[in-house]
C-alpha cells in the first residue's frame, strides 16, 4: 500500500483557525480522499507542496505528473470553474477533475513544468512579454459562472473588516482607517462601470508559474468575476520589492491597451485591502 504524505500540521492549524466549523472535518478527510483520487487517476503521491490553506500533493502517473489540490474554502467550486475557464484559454494548466466533497473541493490538474514562480524568475524583457501575453488571453472573456460573486464585493468586505481582517498576508498590518475610506470611495467608482468578466483575482507572483522558457501559466484563482485590470494591479503591487508598482502597472496597461488610470486605481484599492 502506498504511503500517503501527511497533511502538514501548519496547514491543519491554519485551516481550523480560519474555518472552525468545517476545518477539523476537512483535516480528517483529505488523506483518505487523496488515496481514492490516486486510485482513480492511477497516481502515486510524491510530496506535499507548500500552501497556507490547502493540501497540495505532487503525484506521478503513467501519462505524466499531476497536482492534486484539496481546499476547504467554501468558494472552492467557483475557484475550480475559473481554473477551467483559464485552462480553456491556455492560461492555466489543464484540469483533469473538479470534485466537490462534504468538506471542500479537490482539483486535479497537470503539473506546470518547470513551475518556477514568477517571484523567483530573473526580470527580463522576455519575461515581461510572457506576462503580457498571458493576461492578453483574459481580455473580453465572460465570467465562467453566471452570478459569481463580484471582485468588488470581496474587496469591499476586506476594506470594511479593517483591523479585524483575519487573513492578512504575512508581515503586513491593516491599512490605516483613512486609507481604507479613500479606497472604498475609489472602489465604488470602479464598480460602477465594471463589466463582469474573467479575472484570476489573486495574481501574485507565487500564482504565476513558468511553463517552459518563454511561457507563463496561472494557478489558484479566486472564485470571483472581475476584470483583467485588477490582475495587472496585483502583479504590479506584489512586484514592489524589485520595481516601482506604479511604473509597472502603467507599462502593463499600455501594452494591453487598458486605461492606465484604471489599473492604478485598482492598485490603490488592492494595497489598502492588503490582498
Same domain? For 85 and 172 the reply is no
Residue 65 belongs to domain with CATH number = 3.30.200.20
Any residues with CB less than 8 A from the CB of 153 and at least 6 apart, and which? Answer: 224
Average per-residue pLDDT for the chain = 95
Residue 3 resides in a domain: no
Same domain? For 125 and 103 the reply is no
Same domain? For 173 and 150 the reply is yes
For 97-111, the pLDDT digits (tens) are: 999 999 999 999 999
Same domain? For 145 and 128 the reply is yes
Task: Tell me: pLDDT of 150 over 60.
Answer: yes
Residue 101 resides in a domain: yes
Same domain? For 179 and 235 the reply is yes
Share of the chain above pLDDT 70, in %: 99
Residue 141 resides in a domain: yes
Residue 143 resides in a domain: yes
Task: Tell me: pLDDT of 147 over 60.
Answer: yes
Domain boundary (49, 76, 110) is at: 110
- The whole-number pLDDT of residue 264 equals 98
- Confidence band for 238, pLDDT divided at 50, 70 and 90: very high
For 20-35, the pLDDT digits (tens) are: 999 999 999 999 999 9
* pTM of the complete model: 0.94
Same domain? For 101 and 143 the reply is no
Mean pLDDT along residues 85-91: 98
Rounded Cα distance between 14 and 127, Å, is 34
* Total domains in the fold of the chain: 2
Antiparallel, parallel or unpaired: β 216-218 and 208-210: antiparallel
- The whole-number pLDDT of residue 2 equals 66
Mean pLDDT along residues 60-78: 97
The answer to whether the CB of 228 falls within 8 A of the CB of 256 is yes
Rounded Cα distance between 61 and 110, Å, is 11
Domain boundary (110, 141, 163) is at: 110
Q: What is the DSSP string of the chain?
A: -PPPPPPPHHHHHHHHHH-TTTHHHHHHHHHHHHHHHHHHTT-EEEEEEP-SS-EEEEEE-TT--EEEEEE--TTHHHHHHHHHHHHHTTSSPPEEEEEE-SS-EEEEEEPPSS--BGGGSPP-HHHHHHHHHHHHTTTTPPPSSTTPPBHHHHHHHHHHHGGG-S-PPTT--PPPHHHHHHHHHHHHHHHHTPPPB---S---TTSEEE-STT-EEE-S--S-BB-HHHHHHHHHHHTTTTS-HHHHHHHHHHHTT--HHHHHHHHHHHHHHT-
Residue 103 resides in a domain: yes
Residue 2 resides in a domain: no
Domain that holds residue 92: 9-110
Same domain? For 148 and 238 the reply is yes
Same domain? For 154 and 176 the reply is yes
The answer to whether the CB of 156 falls within 8 A of the CB of 89 is no
Same domain? For 187 and 256 the reply is yes
Same domain? For 237 and 145 the reply is yes
Residue 37 resides in a domain: yes
Residue 259 resides in a domain: yes
Domain boundary (81, 110, 139) is at: 110
Mean pLDDT along residues 119-148: 92
Same domain? For 145 and 127 the reply is yes
HSE at residue 3, side-chain half, CA atoms within 13 A, is 3
Mean pLDDT along residues 121-134: 93
Residue 157 belongs to domain with CATH number = 3.90.1200.10
Same domain? For 227 and 157 the reply is yes
Q: Single out the residue of 34, 55, 53 nearest to residue 45, CA to CA.
A: 34
Any residues with CB less than 8 A from the CB of 100 and at least 6 apart, and which? Answer: 76, 77
Amino acid at each position: 500500500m502506498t504511503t500517503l504524505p501527511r497533511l502538514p500540521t501548519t496547514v491543519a492549524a491554519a485551516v481550523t483557525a480560519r474555518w472552525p466549523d468545517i476545518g477539523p472535518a476537512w483535516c480528517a478527510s483529505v488523506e483518505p480522499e487523496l488515496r481514492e483520487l490516486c486510485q482513480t487517476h492511477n497516481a502515486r503521491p510524491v510530496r506535499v507542496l507548500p500552501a497556507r490553506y490547502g493540501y497540495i500533493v505532487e503525484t506521478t502517473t503513467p501519462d505524466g505528473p499531476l497536482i492534486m489540490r484539496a481546499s476547504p474554502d467554501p468558494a472552492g467550486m467557483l475557484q475550480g470553474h475559473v481554473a477551467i475557464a483559464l485552462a480553456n484559454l491556455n492560461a492555466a494548466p489543464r484540469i483533469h477533475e473538479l470534485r466537490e466533497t462534504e468538506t471542500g473541493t479537490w482539483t486535479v490538474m497537470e503539473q506546470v513544468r518547470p513551475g518556477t514562480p514568477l517571484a523567483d524568475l530573473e526580470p527580463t524583457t522576455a519575461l515581461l512579454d510572457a506576462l503580457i501575453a498571458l493576461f492578453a488571453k483574459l481580455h473580453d472573456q465572460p465570467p465562467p459562472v453566471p452570478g459569481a460573486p463580484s471582485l468588488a464585493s470581496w474587496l469591499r468586505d476586506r476594506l470594511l473588516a479593517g483591523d479585524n481582517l483575519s487573513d492578512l498576508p504575512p508581515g503586513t498590518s491593516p491599512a490605516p482607517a483613512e486609507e481604507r475610506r479613500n479606497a472604498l470611495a475609489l472602489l465604488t467608482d470602479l464598480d460602477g462601470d465594471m463589466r463582469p468578466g474573467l479575472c484570476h483575482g489573486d495574481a501574485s507572483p507565487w500564482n504565476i508559474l513558468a511553463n517552459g522558457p518563454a511561457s507563463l501559466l496561472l494557478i489558484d484563482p479566486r472564485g470571483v468575476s472581475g476584470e483583467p485590470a485588477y490582475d495587472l494591479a496585483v502583479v504590479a503591487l506584489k512586484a514592489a520589492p524589485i520595481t516601482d508598482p506604479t511604473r509597472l502597472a502603467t507599462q502593463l496597461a499600455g501594452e494591453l491597451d487598458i486605461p492606465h488610470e484604471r489599473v492604478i486605481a485598482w492598485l490603490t484599492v488592492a494595497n489598502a485591502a492588503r490582498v
